[in-house]
Amino acid sequence: MIVLIVLASVLLASISIIQFRNEAKEYHQDRLENKENAIKEHINYVLSTTTYPLTTRNLPLIFKDRIHELSDIHNLEINMYGLDGKLLISSKSSFSIDSVAPPVPPYVLKLVNSSIEKRYVDIKTVDGFKNRSAYSQIKDDKFKPLGILNLPYVEDDGFYDKELRNFLIRLSQVYGFTIVIAFGLAYFLSTYITQSLKTISDRINETSFLQKNKKIYLKANSKEIDSLIKAYNGMVGELEKSAIKLAQSEREEAWREMAKQVAHEIKNPLTPMRLTVQSFQRKFDPNDPDLKQKLNDYSQTLIQQIDTMSAVASAFSNFASMPAQQNESLNVVEVVELALDIFNEAFVVFICKEKEITTQFDRTQLIRIITNLVKNATQAIPEDQDYKLVVVRLDRNEQWIKISVKDNGNGILPENVSHIFEPKFTTKSSGMGLGLGIIKNIIENYNGTITFETEAGKGTEFIVTLPISTT
């Protein structure tokens, strides 16, 4: 809208300038023509009343006393030339006829004689001013040419220039005020119209597949924006349905994979148990003097495999249903020290600047977090490595408790980084890989986070942040 107003003002100013110039041009043309007609009528009257013979040579005598009178009456300079273009008489008071007086240019004589009206206006620009010179024939009562009448006319556009300046000033004032009003209207209108669009834009930027998105309840300013809001709300509804289906599908897929993993882990001890039973059945001899020892070995083998199956079942049970939180007010520093007491390795170091950090937490679950992370850290260091170090650091600020467990082991391979917290993933030869998945669930239940930083060949650091709660 503002651009259109500016363009309109520029266009109107341009048209006005052209119009004023055209009017000035037409004014000067008409004025010169009217002056010329009036002077020629006056000349014809003088010619009809003179006593001199009407010849070219007598024109200076006829108008000797009258040419200044004509010039004063019509307020215009008057020059009379012979038919050959030489100056005969002029109304200029300081003018003197001599041999060097400029004659009428030949092309002007030619144009005057060849035109139907026997008239020609020569236009020249001198010192920035446009000069018009009207040339026409002076005729006697029998229409016989006697000479050439020349009327020099200097265009004075001062009046039109002044009027043009005044008009442009008024125009600029009007359009300046209009532009100010347009700026104000544009600001308020755009704010009013785009407020809905900004709300929609902000809500779209906040839209995520991993969270519950809010619909927009907004009174639309136009049908188009109302359609956009309806489309967004419809998209949010479909997105929520898709998220529910995807979550359900992911859960089912996770449980299927977990069931496969549990079945695989259970099958592992069943096979040696079956082979052991079959071997004992074939080789059983009641009279064997080593029967008691063989029975003992047989029992130990079965017990070991049963313990393995029990461990698998316990791990799966712990992951499938976390025990209810038994929150209590505890000193995190003491609990961490207590959890680290089971590690006899001298390279496990605990660092904390404070003696007491109190919060509401489940003691058992906090111990599980520490022991699992420290156990993983110690196992991540190769047995043959000379210098081993696991640093457990505890810090806090006003809102968060930060627990970091850093080792100087081999680090995590890049291809395994994205799978670290997957329930069935493990890089160890034993275990089901449920440890990090379990503690991640514990931490997230307390609105905390667990992240890690790793570098191949230098080690890994797991960072746990938990909110400080006093209630």
Between CA 390 and CA 346 the distance in angstroms is 9
pLDDT tens digits for 48-102? 888 888 888 888 888 887 888 888 888 888 888 888 888 888 887 654 444 456 7
Name every residue whose Cβ is closer than 8 Å to that of residue 203 and which is 6 or more positions away in sequence: 213, 214, 216, 232
Average pLDDT, the chain: 78
Domain with residue 439: its CATH number is: 3.30.565.10
CB 393 within 8 A of CB 403: yes
Give a yes or no: residue 303 inside a domain: yes
Between CA 329 and CA 339 the distance in angstroms is 17
Considering its fold, how many domains does the chain have in total?
A: 3
Give a yes or no: residue 196 inside a domain: no
pLDDT, tens digit only, all 471 positions of the chain: 778 878 887 888 888 788 777 777 777 778 778 888 888 888 888 888 888 888 888 888 888 878 888 888 888 888 888 888 888 888 876 544 444 567 888 888 888 888 888 888 887 776 666 777 888 888 887 888 888 888 887 766 566 667 777 877 887 888 788 888 888 887 777 777 666 777 777 777 777 655 666 777 666 666 777 777 778 777 877 777 777 777 777 777 766 766 666 666 666 666 666 766 777 777 777 777 777 787 787 777 677 667 667 766 666 666 555 555 678 888 999 989 888 877 778 899 999 998 898 888 888 888 888 888 998 888 889 888 889 999 999 998 888 999 999 999 888 888 878 777 776 555 554 444 456 777 888 888 888 999 999 988 889 999 999 998 755
Give a yes or no: residue 25 inside a domain: yes
Last residue of a domain, one of 261, 293, 320: 320
Give a yes or no: residue 280 inside a domain: yes
Last residue of a domain, one of 289, 320, 351: 320
- Enclosing domain of residue 316: 223-320
The residue count for the chain? 471
pTM: 0.38
CB 319 within 8 A of CB 255: no
Domain with residue 17: its CATH number is: 3.30.450.20
Residue 6 belongs to what H/E stretch? Answer: helix 2-49
Give a yes or no: residue 34 inside a domain: yes
Give a yes or no: residue 104 inside a domain: yes
Amino acid symbol at 148: I
pLDDT tens digits for 189-227? 777 766 677 777 777 777 765 566 677 766 666 677 777
Name every residue whose Cβ is closer than 8 Å to that of residue 157 and which is 6 or more positions away in sequence: 24
Last residue of a domain, one of 320, 348, 371: 320
